Structure 1
């Protein structure tokens, strides 16, 4: 906690001011969030404390105007891994210490003194934010030389070879790069009480016909959607369950007990195969941006069946076929994915 507040001082995050007129500015409360940071094996490597603002008390259009949260798409991550694999590049990971605290705020934002660290001499004083704070809506040589250059601007920490990122366990080997989510899978099984379930060898029985099952027993849609969301994230490294998960995801609006049973079957399959990972062979062929040829990504239009397919490497997974009424939407999705690949590879030069 002391280290967190010390970072606030170093980054000039806030300044002590008199409490403003409550009719013009509301004071946002603060609270401490505690978390154990784990490595790819689930071992605790650090205890962290974050001071966050209770930004949920703010109203859009009154207290703030625009928000934006930059997130990494799984497709972009897989493209990066495939690119590094093809060019025999070893990926390293660096962390920006208190990265959120480097963003400057344009609006006037006031927060209360942190719990447990109130100034007894100035209990009525508050902090005016100069930089973004966690919870504020609008805040969301090769390696050595790069690390030094970034360290000049930000406080960087070298985390070594890339092994764990956004729940993905990454193994970089001579024969390729492999990703898995074994740790995340264990957490999912534990979350839904299936850590001791009996495994099965296939993700969905061949004799199962998924339908709306209007006469079936209703199942809690919140739990069902949570299960589907967890499985969809597991698809990042398990394309073998993609079709089964998408079939179950069609019934999130009104799930039945039969649908819940099918989802549990997928989890039992994952429990039986927790060590499976996804790998890209070293000889993977990339798009040649120099001549803009689409060697591995070819859009094929089959007019007779109204199907759209993208023939590509397994690094970009998609589920098909599509019904006639969805064919144009499907085509747009394929084109947007293609544009994403070109944009990402263009950044790599």
Structure 2
């Protein structure tokens, strides 16, 4: 039996499922394929590592689904890091407020087009129908098509409300009406909203809440591991907590810092003694790639070690450790976004000529600014 605090969150989840009419109990004999169900428990933390809330979630065991039978398409767009930086920059340049929203039980709002049967929730089996199974009417976490179903429901609502989906990033929606401009970014169930008219923003948040049950988190402060700190002339975007957690996972919190991501004149080649744990190598490099959202000073070094994910050697792993030692001494580095009287789009590019000793290919780099704010 879980702790009483966890039991309360489980009961809240079951209540949300019933209120949303997520499933209907039917006799087991009518179900050709039955998906399992389980509870997942998670402790959500704030940017300062204190506990924000406990969360219990009922999930479907989607790995038992049959392709073409109880699911087909599964793709759902994910917001690009460049788009996040662009919206933050536009908000700072125009002096717009940044709001953060969280959709309660987001996947439960998605409509299923396939017939899916699931076992009753462990610990909450209906005593009147103990052998029945749930025929799902709405999407549920764990189902392979759940992210797509939720995004289709949300995007349909936004377009009915006058929003237009960006062609450059499907996770960005914008609204224009006279002098009113709104931008909405969505990452699964997390939403960033900004715009030129605060009263209209408040009205739209109320309308969004009436449709989906929104938790208003106030001024944007912590989003997808990104920490937003407001300054006198803009904001600072960092990932100090994420960097600390990464170093802790790599057991390098006490490592001796270095002053550069890679040593000057350093070259990596594909030949060498194979590293004994390539999975660890790939995991660390993947985590470093996410860190480059705010740490663009790491981009070239991380790009370099990413070229050897298939067959990493000991030298490649030593290069990853060198990057982590640099991160150890620069955990609080990040991006600053400032207002500018006349922002212009500026781009810079460069390339190293045939630097790769294996393929003789060049590596091209670029930096795109909006005013003084680095976007890409």
Choose from 203, 210, 219 the match for 1:161. Answer: 219
Residue 231 in structure 1 maps to residue 288 in structure 2: yes
CA, structure 1 residues 231+176, in 2 after alignment: closer, same or farther (shift >3 Å)? same
Residue 241 in structure 1 maps to residue 298 in structure 2: yes
Deviation at 1:125, TM superposition (A): 0.8
Partner residue of 1:210?
A: 268
Residue 2 in structure 1 maps to residue 59 in structure 2: no
CA, structure 1 residues 250+283, in 2 after alignment: closer, same or farther (shift >3 Å)? same
Q: What TM-score does the superposition give when structure 2 sets the normalisation length?
A: 0.76
8 A contact 1:96–1:156 mirrored in 2: yes
Partner residue of 1:92?
A: 99
8 A contact 2:25–2:132 mirrored in 1: yes
Q: Deviations over 1:274-307 (max 9, x none)?
A: 11121122118657xxxxxxx435999xxxx999
Q: Aligned to 1:160, what secondary structure does the other structure show?
A: strand
Deviation at 1:155, TM superposition (A): 1.0
Residue 13 in structure 1 maps to residue 63 in structure 2: no
How do residues 331-342 of structure 1 correspond to structure 2 at under 5 angstroms? Answer: none
Deviation at 1:144, TM superposition (A): 2.4
Select the structure that is richer in strand: 2
8 A contact 2:367–2:374 mirrored in 1: no
Deviation at 1:127, TM superposition (A): 0.9
Deviation at 1:272, TM superposition (A): 0.6
**Any gaps of 5 or more consecutive residues in structure 2?**
1-9, 148-198, 351-360
Q: Aligned to 1:312, what secondary structure does the other structure show?
A: strand
Q: Deviations over 1:44-83 (max 9, x none)?
A: 1100000000001112223211112232111111111111
Residue 316 in structure 1 maps to residue 366 in structure 2: no
Q: Deviations over 1:10-30 (max 9, x none)?
A: 1111111111445xx211110
Find runs of 4+ consecutive structure 1 residues off by over 4 angstroms: 284-287, 297-300, 305-311
**Any gaps of 5 or more consecutive residues in structure 1?**
288-294, 318-349
Partner Cα distance (1:43, 1:306) in 2 = 45
Q: Which moved more, 1:308-317 or 1:222-231?
A: 308-317
Deviation at 1:7, TM superposition (A): 0.6
8 A contact 1:110–1:127 mirrored in 2: yes
CA, structure 1 residues 48+107, in 2 after alignment: closer, same or farther (shift >3 Å)? same
Partner residue of 2:146?
A: 139
Q: Deviations over 1:212-234 (max 9, x none)?
A: 2x243434221111111011100
